[in-house]
Amino acid sequence: MKPPSTRALLLLALAAPLLPVHAQDKADPAEVRAAASASAKEMLKKLFSEENTAEQLAELAKEANKLGVPRQQIIEARLVWGLRRQDVDYLTKLLPEVEVLAANFDTEQAAALPTVEAVQSFAAYIRALKAGTEKNEAEFKKNILEAIWLSPQQANVFTQSIEKFRREAKMGSMVVDLKLPLTNSMGETTTLGEQLAGKKAILIDFWASWCGPCMQLMPALKKKGEHLKQYDIAVVAMNKDDENAESIAERIRKEQGMTMPWLVEPAARPYTKQFELDSIPRMVLISPEGKVLYNGHPQDPALWTALKQVNDKIEEAH
């Protein structure tokens, strides 16, 4: 199964190997230039590491600046970091620097983004993401189309953002029936309302035994459930197998050592239709009033943004 939009953002720029670092001071002796280049290359590897936290990246950027790593390459690393995580707040704050980078792009200093058009397309993409969070459809359309025009090879990625924008617009006016009868993996009757009782929100993980990514994320689901208890967020799983769903769900619950509510979607697939579950794994966050607060991939950073809006004390599980 393909993950939905945000986790599908394996952009060409992110996957591409770092381009060579060019010596900055041609007047230096050869051995000094070689040493400086080696240090810069090592720093670039650190800057572009997927493991960096925001704090680590900020410190590395300071160190890179002291080592004489070109500002362009530092900005590229920060841009790649934000794109990988789809951190709209971070990217929005970085946008002025990305626009300066686009205006002064030097292909000789490129680290990950090969052309000025690539930088311009990501600048437009960030503006589109920002417009999306502001529910500004006109600005979203304008900028996402510009991003596609500037970098057509990324059209599939950018159009996924269009699908996400449309889905979120629908979710904004949706009210979920919390009294709809459900069963758990042991055949017992319940409702989402019962699972939500006394909680600030309910987070539903939709999965199936035939979905490889779903099964791979079971440990992360277990961790989320344990972590979010302290913040009064109910976490439940809902199986979508077509046949023998209850027995399959119960078997996997035991295998995974799950203690959270282990539900089964009714055969009529009411939630699949309402939430437009064209791909899984998928997580949906619902308020006690039945409002959809999030509908997307379990690993999308936007999930934690939505959770923090429910309870600002929530910290992301690591």
Tell me, what's the pLDDT at 39? 74
Q: Region 159-181: what's the mean pLDDT?
A: 84
Q: Is the pLDDT of residue 7 over 80?
A: no
* Residue 72, amino acid: Q
> Alpha-carbon distance 20 to 260, whole Å?
50
Summarised one tens digit per residue, pLDDT across range 52-72 is: 888 999 999 999 888 888 899
Summarised one tens digit per residue, pLDDT across range 302-316 is: 899 899 999 989 988
Reported confidence tier of residue 170, pLDDT bands at 50, 70, 90 = confident
Total-model pTM? 0.64
User: Which is more confident, 186 or 160?
Assistant: 186
Tell me, what's the pLDDT at 54? 87
Helices (H), 87-136: 88-103, 116-133
Reported confidence tier of residue 34, pLDDT bands at 50, 70, 90 = very low
* Residue 268, amino acid: A
Closest CA to 5 of 219, 204, 167, 171: 167
> Starting from the edge strand earliest in sequence, which strands make up the sheet with 233-239, in order?
189-190, 182-184, 262-264, 233-239, 201-207, 282-286, 292-296
Q: Region 244-266: what's the mean pLDDT?
A: 95
> Alpha-carbon distance 225 to 236, whole Å?
8
Reported confidence tier of residue 6, pLDDT bands at 50, 70, 90 = very low
